[in-house]
Amino acid sequence: MKKILIISDGIPGHFNQSKGVARMISETYECSISTHELSWRLYFLRSACNVFGKLLLRLNNKNIARGILWMYTPIDMQGHDLVIAAGGNTMQVSAAIKLAYSLPVIQLGSPRGLHSSVFNALVTVEKYFDHPSNIVAAITPNIYSPAICSIAAEKDNLSDHILFLIGGEGIGYSYLPNEWESMLTSIQGLCSKTELPISIVTSRRTSPEVEDLFQSRLKNILGDYSAWFHHGDKDFNLAALLGSATNIFVTEDSAMMISESISSGKPVTTLYPSNIKSPLRYENHISKYADLDLIKRSPLFDFELRSQQNLNGRITEYQKELVKKLVRAIEWRKD
C-alpha cells in the first residue's frame, strides 16, 4: 500500500485540490492518505522566510532544505511514498521536502517564484514552464467526479432541482444591489418555466444581507436542499446536490466552485456582474473552460437553462489523463 501525505495550509479550497489528486491516484493504486496542517515555529518570521526560503531553495542544498523545514512544526515523514500540497503557502515546504528527503512531490497552483522542476509535478491550469514537470490540468483538481456525484444523489434519494452556487466579492468581481435583484427575478422566471424547485448554496463570500435577500425573495420556490452559510448550514452533501441538479448556475468569482460544478458532469452556467477587474490569469482560467465548452458564460441578470450534455465521459477522461501524467512524473509503478 502506498502512503500519501497531504501538506495543508488550512485553506479549504487548497485542501480539496490536494484531496482531489489523492483521490484520483487512489483509484489506480491502493493508498492510505494522511494530512499535516502547517504551522510556524516562529510565526513573526513567516514573511521573511517565505521570501528568502524560495531564493535559497535555488541553491539545491539539502542542509538549506532541512533548515527551511525547521522553521515549521515537525512533519512526520516516516514511511510516506508521496507528498501532495496546494497553494503558495505550502510551496517552499513541499519543495524542501523533495530536496531533503528525496520524496516525490506533487504541488498544485501557480509557481510563485519557484520553477516547476523543484517538484516532480507542478499542476497548473495554464502552462508556465516548457518543462515536463509543469503538468497542465484541463480542470482544476477537486474532490468530485461524475460518478461520485451521481452515487451521492442516488444514496440520498434527491429529486431533480436547479442549483445556484452563490459567491460574492472577490478576485476582482463586485456586485451591485440591482444586479442581485435582477438575478432573483430571473430565477423566479426560470422556476415558473420549468416547475422545478430552486436550491441555493451560499458561501463565506456571500454577504449576510444578500443571503437574507435570497431567502426572503425566493421562499415560495425553494426546495428542501438549500444551504445558507451565514445561518450555519455546513453539514450538507454538496456531491449529492451536484449529482441531482438538472442545471448548475455558479457565480464566477470562485474558481473552485466552478471546477467542482464542472466535475459533476452537469450543464454549468457561470454568472458574471458588470464590474470585473480580475487578474489576467483568472480571466484566462475562465476563458479556458468556456473554450472547452465546459461552461457557458452569462450575465447575472440574463441566463437560461443549458440543454443536457453528456459530459461525463469527457470529465472522466480528463481526470484519467491527469492521473497518467502524475504517475509518470512521480515514477510509481504498479506492483
Question: pLDDT tens digits for 183-201?
Answer: 999 999 999 999 999 999 9
Provide the pLDDT for residue 332.
85
pLDDT at 48 over 80: no
What's the total number of domains in the chain? 2
Provide the pLDDT for residue 335.
55
Mean pLDDT of 207-221: 95
Residue 122 shares a structural domain with residue 184: no
Residue 251 shares a structural domain with residue 285: yes
Q: Is residue 209 part of a domain?
A: yes
Residue 43 shares a structural domain with residue 114: yes
Provide the pLDDT for residue 265.
95
Residue 182 shares a structural domain with residue 241: yes
Residue 297 shares a structural domain with residue 158: yes
Q: Is residue 310 part of a domain?
A: no
pLDDT at 43 over 80: no
Angle at which helices 312-330 and 255-263 cross, to 10°: 110
Provide the pLDDT for residue 244.
97
Q: Is residue 99 part of a domain?
A: yes
Residue 299 shares a structural domain with residue 324: no
Percent of the chain past pLDDT 90, that is, above it, reads 87
Residue 236 C-alpha cell reads as 450538507
Q: How far apart are CA 210 and CA 66, in angstroms?
A: 48
Asked if 123 and 85 touch (Cβ cutoff 8 Å), the reply is no
CATH number for the domain that contains residue 6 = 3.40.50
Asked if 325 and 116 touch (Cβ cutoff 8 Å), the reply is no
Asked if 183 and 201 touch (Cβ cutoff 8 Å), the reply is no
pLDDT at 56 over 90: no
Name the pLDDT band for 334 (thresholds 50, 70, 90).
low
Q: How far apart are CA 77 and CA 65, in angstroms?
A: 14
Provide the pLDDT for residue 273.
97
130-165 pLDDT per residue, tens: 999 999 999 999 999 999 999 999 999 999 999 999
Provide the pLDDT for residue 333.
66
pTM: predicted TM-score of the whole model, two decimal places: 0.92
Provide the pLDDT for residue 49.
76
Structural domain boundaries enclosing 233? 146-304
105-135 pLDDT per residue, tens: 999 999 988 999 999 999 999 999 999 999 9
CATH number for the domain that contains residue 192 = 3.40.50.2000
Q: Is residue 141 part of a domain?
A: no
Residue 151 shares a structural domain with residue 257: yes
Residue 152 shares a structural domain with residue 232: yes
219-275 pLDDT per residue, tens: 999 999 999 999 998 889 999 999 999 999 999 999 999 999 999 999 999 999 999
Q: Which of 165-169, 226-230, 303-307 has the lowest mean pLDDT?
A: 303-307
Percent of the chain past pLDDT 70, that is, above it, reads 99
Asked if 225 and 199 touch (Cβ cutoff 8 Å), the reply is yes
Look at phi and psi of residue 60 and say left if phi exceeds 0, alpha if psi is from -120 to 50, else beta. left
Residue 222 shares a structural domain with residue 175: yes
Residue 85 C-alpha cell reads as 500540497
Look at phi and psi of residue 121 and say left if phi exceeds 0, alpha if psi is from -120 to 50, else beta. beta
Mean pLDDT of 15-24: 96
Residue 82 shares a structural domain with residue 173: no
